[in-house]
Amino acid sequence: MKLKIAILAGDGIGPEVTREAVNILNVVAEAGGHEFTFTESLIGGVAITANGTPLPQSTIDTCLDSDAVLLGAVGDNKFNSLTPDKRPEAGLLQIRQELGGFANLRPCLAFEALSENSPLRPEVTKGVDILFVRELLGGLYFGQPREWNKQTGEAFNTMRYSKSEVERVAHIAFQLAQKRRKKLTQVDKANVLECSQLWRATVDEIKTQYPDVTVEHQLVDSMAIHLMNTPRNFDVVLTENLFGDILSDESGVISGSLGMLPSATIGGKVNLYEPVHGSAPDIAGQGKANPLGAILTAAMVLRHSANLEQEAKAVEAAVTKVLAEGHRTSDIARGNTAANVTTQQMGKLVHNALAESIDRQQSLHAV
């Protein structure tokens, strides 16, 4: 298969971790005879330095001409004095808008080898595998009217959704649930909010098209508790924008480090893939960054843009193996397991584990 991937490595640790993610994609391409082409473009602080803008038109054009965009991170303290619309982060907001994705996917995976990194007990986190599907372009963050009237001392925002906005993200969530454990939990505040009542009614209407998927509704306040008490009970979790923002961040405690979390935004013109973490200027250029979030993001590229599910699983299995062997960057070092690898070494370990598992598969097929 052919896949054109735009690489926006960005600032800080972005280039370090993205390099390792690209290496992983190359292993999969070589082993499977796939043609992945990578075009590097500028975003964020590096783009401001080179072009005076955090998102040059050439970057937008490259992204729109690609099948997938893999982004590292943006943000550089040296631009902190600029107004928000000129700072590196403005480039990120703008590229998200240009690509138009409305379904933000945030997997929450518990790696058994990292169980002591979570404040939750190992028996609670063991085996957790949740996929948050968060609506990204609507709700309270974008609804009009909105205002902070400093004269009257009043401020307000508007939570607003149309049925079609709910339908399009719900279909994505149902289809993803069909490929997983076939359970969908829709989160809302339907006991208080009309918007949530629309979400609940729309999901109930759509569910007849997906009879193999079990649907449950949860109020967001009790969901915040269930997520910490019984996270294994959840498969796909569908939410509106604000609730998804909060719950997916809350679920980060299960994986144990920001450096382990991947994400994808799909449904628009081109899918955008990015690790959840930022540019981490405090550790940039020191070989301390954990590349696993970026590598797991590469697995999402394989799953959602290349339709290579087995290969995506193989990348995740390679990460699991390397962690089980005790390799740790400093963010995931705990107790008796000290930090013992650099960014590049961790990438290489996953690379080798993946290459070995692919070799094993291929020799099995050859027999």
Please list the active-site residues.
141, 189, 221, 245, 249
Out of 279, 306, 349, 353, name the contact with ligand NAD by CB under 6 A: 279
Out of 56, 107, 139, 293, name the contact with ligand NAD by CB under 6 A: 293
Q: Contact region for ligand NAD (CB under 6 A) — 150-158, 182-190, 286-294, 354-362?
A: 286-294
Out of 65, 282, 309, 359, name the contact with ligand NAD by CB under 6 A: 282
Q: Does residue number 278 form part of the binding site for ligand NAD (CB under 6 A)?
A: yes
β-pairing, 214-219 with 103-109?
unpaired
Phi, then psi, of 15 in degrees rounded to 5: -60, -40
Take residue 110 and report the two structure tokens written for it: 């518990």
Residue 254, SS3 per DSSP? helix
Q: Which is nearer to ligand NAD, 75 or 139 (CB)?
A: 75
Out of 20, 89, 188, 235, name the contact with ligand NAD by CB under 6 A: 89
Take residue 85 and report the two structure tokens written for it: 């619309």
Instruction: Tally the residues of the chain.
Output: 367
Q: Which is nearer to ligand NAD, 274 or 316 (CB)?
A: 274
Q: Does residue number 245 form part of the binding site for ligand NAD (CB under 6 A)?
A: no
Distance CA 321, CA 224 (A): 31
Phi, then psi, of 240 in degrees rounded to 5: -75, 180
Distance CA 90, CA 83 (A): 10
Q: Does residue number 262 form part of the binding site for ligand NAD (CB under 6 A)?
A: no
How many residues lie near ligand NAD (CB under 6 A)?
A: 21
Q: Does residue number 289 form part of the binding site for ligand NAD (CB under 6 A)?
A: yes
Q: Does residue number 280 form part of the binding site for ligand NAD (CB under 6 A)?
A: yes
Comparing C-alpha atoms, which of 306, 98, 266, 97 is closest to residue 175?
A: 266
- Residue 148 CB, nearest approach to ligand NAD (Å): 22
Distance CA 39, CA 228 (A): 41
Tell me: cis bond preceding 145? Omega within 30 of 0 counts: yes
Buried b (16+ CB within 10 A) or exposed e, 263-275: bbbbbbebbbbbb
- Residue 103 CB, nearest approach to ligand NAD (Å): 17
Q: Contact region for ligand NAD (CB under 6 A) — 111-119, 239-247, 285-293, 314-322?
A: 285-293
Q: Does residue number 139 form part of the binding site for ligand NAD (CB under 6 A)?
A: no
Pair 301, 29: CB distance under 8 Å: no
Q: Does residue number 73 form part of the binding site for ligand NAD (CB under 6 A)?
A: yes
Out of 195, 215, 283, 315, name the contact with ligand NAD by CB under 6 A: 283
Out of 20, 98, 135, 274, name the contact with ligand NAD by CB under 6 A: 274
Instruction: Give the other-Cβ count within 10 Å of 284's Cβ.
Output: 18
Please list the residues that pair with 106 across neighbouring strands: 132
Where in 98-117 is the site for ligand NAD (CB under 6 A)? none
Q: Which is nearer to ligand NAD, 116 or 167 (CB)?
A: 116
Distance CA 68, CA 5 (A): 5
Pair 8, 59: CB distance under 8 Å: yes
Q: Which is nearer to ligand NAD, 166 or 272 (CB)?
A: 272
Pair 106, 276: CB distance under 8 Å: yes
Q: Is 242 exposed, middle or buried (0-12, 13-18, 19+ CB in 10 A)?
A: middle
Out of 277, 327, 328, 351, name the contact with ligand NAD by CB under 6 A: 277
- Residue 9 CB, nearest approach to ligand NAD (Å): 11
Q: Does residue number 75 form part of the binding site for ligand NAD (CB under 6 A)?
A: yes
Q: Which residues bind ligand NAD (CB under 6 A)?
A: 13, 17, 73-75, 89, 92, 258-259, 274, 277-283, 289-290, 293, 331
